[in-house]
Structure formats: C-alpha cells, structure tokens
Amino acid sequence: MRMIRVASRKSLLAMTQTRQVIQQLQSFFPDTEFQIIPVVTQGDRILDVSLSKIGGKGLFVSEVEQQLLQEQADMAVHSLKDVPAELADGLVIAAYPNRVDARDALITKKANAIHNLPQGSVIGTSSLRRMAQLKHLRNDLQIKLLRGNIDTRLNKLESGEYDAILLAAAGLIRMGWEDRITERIDPMHILPAIGQGILAVECRDQDSSLKEMLQSLHCRQTEQVALAERALLHSLNGGCQVPIAGYAEWQNGTLVLTGLVASEDGEVIYQVKESLSSRMSSVDLGQMVAKKLLEKGADQILQKYS
C-alpha cells in the first residue's frame, strides 16, 4: 500500500483543512497511510507588512508546490483564493471539494449587522477588495490594517484595537468557530473573493493513481464555479492585491457569475452579472464578464496595478 505525503502550511487553518481532507480520503481508502509534511511559506514569514505592499502572486503556495515538484510530497490542500492564476508546470488541481460558504463574515460585539455598526467604527481588514466595498457601503467606517492568520486576527479583535473585523466565513466554519460569526454578509453587499470558500487539491499531473483517488473528493458543480471565477481573475490579470471580486453560483441549474472591480476608496464600483448559456463553457463565462467589466471602464482602475 502506498504512503501519501501531504504538504501543508503550518497555519492552524491550513493544517485543519489538510487534516479534514485526509480524513475524507481515509474514509474512502482505509488502508492508505497519510503523512503531513509541514512547510513554511513566504506569506507566513512576512507578517509585518501589508501583503499588498510586498506584491508577487502565490506567496502561500509556491513553496508547497516546490515540495510536490521535488517529490518531497505528493499532494497539497490549498485555499483556492490563495492559488495564483497559473499553477507551476507539471502540477494540476485534481479535485475541488464542495464549496462550503463563499461569504465574508462580520465579527463584532458592537452590533448585529454591518448596517447597524455605530458611526465611525474601526474595521479590521487588509484586503483591498473588502476595504473598497466596505467604504462603498458605509463611508463613515474607519478601515484599519489587519494582518495575520485567522486566529491572530480574532485575538487582535479581542484586544480591543478594532470594533469589528471581516473574515471569510468558510475558514471560521472549518475551524469550528462558526459561533464567532455575527453576520454572513450577502454577496450583494460585499462580493466575495474569487475562489473564497473553495479548497483545491493539487498533485503532480503524472501521478495517475493519486489523481484517481482524489476524484472521490471532487464536486463538479464547484469545479465549474471555480473555472468561471478564475477565468474572470485571469482575464483581468488580477491577484489578491487588486480590488477585484467574483462570485459564481448555480441558480436553478444555471451558472451565474458576478464580477466586480472597485476603486480603493470605494467611490467607483463596476459590476457585471451574466449567466451561462448553452454553447458556452464556464471559462467563456468568466472571460465574458471580464470583457464587459473592462468595457465599462474597469481598465482605468486596473491600469494602476499592472
């Protein structure tokens, strides 16, 4: 029987997600052994500066990919949100498990919803996407930079530096910290990040036996969602340091994709929503939404980041 080595970042969320995926695989393949190989990534080492200032795509992913390419490990579980548009050569996403929850979550003790936060409340986030949409929604709010793993961010909220923070609901749910969520924000108000709440299981393209095993985790609907959202990201040439959002969902059997590009101050927001028609692939849908965003004027905003 084969031993499968799973590379994982050391953060609590990454380890938890990796363990949960292994547990699922273990239930399908009870005789297979799994071993976690912890990896420290550049994104984990640099915690003092805003990620948007460091630049570079795939800060959390590239060292893990190196482990796979050098055959030090066989597979890895990523948050799709952190995976750059292009994978390293020779690697594939072999499975997209079912998406849990794409929404951003508000965590606060000061109100029951974002619309009810007191005037001038201090909100912690370091995502340009969240910042821009927050300012658009409530221009009285003060945004204060917040970095770190989700456990670190929750501790900083506890320490009183912030009135509220925003985190991906999915991470909190996977950690078993769902009870910390004050409000799951409707994607109409804050459109989630591309890939948020989706896990991507990566391995070497050559490793056919592992690829076959990973099919047991795969969700086809989630794959189509991921393909549409990531085609949008790719066509806009964006990374996580650009105020771009994208969210696809199945509505009565049809894939619907909303894309958004915002100015950092939240003054300008371009949004496009389109459905998948017959003769069109999910990737086509992503490209079409990107094209319409650019035609509306999003290219003016995006120029600054290229």
Ligand X SMILES: NCc1[nH]cc(CCC(=O)O)c1CC(=O)O
Q: Which of 74, 82, 104, 207 is catalytic?
A: 82
Comparison of 23 and 72: residue with beta carbon closer to ligand X: 23
Q: Would you call 82 a catalytic residue per the annotation?
A: yes
Residue (of 60, 59, 90) closest to 77 by Cα position: 60
Count CB-CB contacts under 10 A for residue 306: 8
Task: List residues near ligand X by CB under 6 A.
Answer: 79, 81-82, 150, 167-168, 170-171, 196-197
Structure tokens at 65: 């990919």
Structure tokens at 224: 């189509």
Residue type, position 151, single letter: D
Distance CA 5, CA 74 (A): 5
- Dihedrals phi, psi of 65, to nearest 5 degrees: -60, -35
Q: Are strands 199-204 and 91-95 parallel, antiparallel or unpaired?
A: antiparallel
Cα 231 to the center of its chain, rounded Å: 14
What separation in angstroms does the CA of 78 have from each of 17, 143, 229, 285?
8, 28, 16, 24
Count Cβ atoms within 10 A of the Cβ of residue 172 and give its class: 0-12 exposed, 13-18 middle, 19 or more buried.
Answer: buried
Distance CA 65, CA 91 (A): 8
Comparison of 167 and 276: residue with beta carbon closer to ligand X: 167
Comparison of 181 and 268: residue with beta carbon closer to ligand X: 181
Comparison of 81 and 135: residue with beta carbon closer to ligand X: 81
Comparison of 167 and 214: residue with beta carbon closer to ligand X: 167
Smallest gap from Cβ 305 to ligand X, in A, equals: 17
Residue type, position 9, single letter: R
> Which residues are the active-site residues?
82
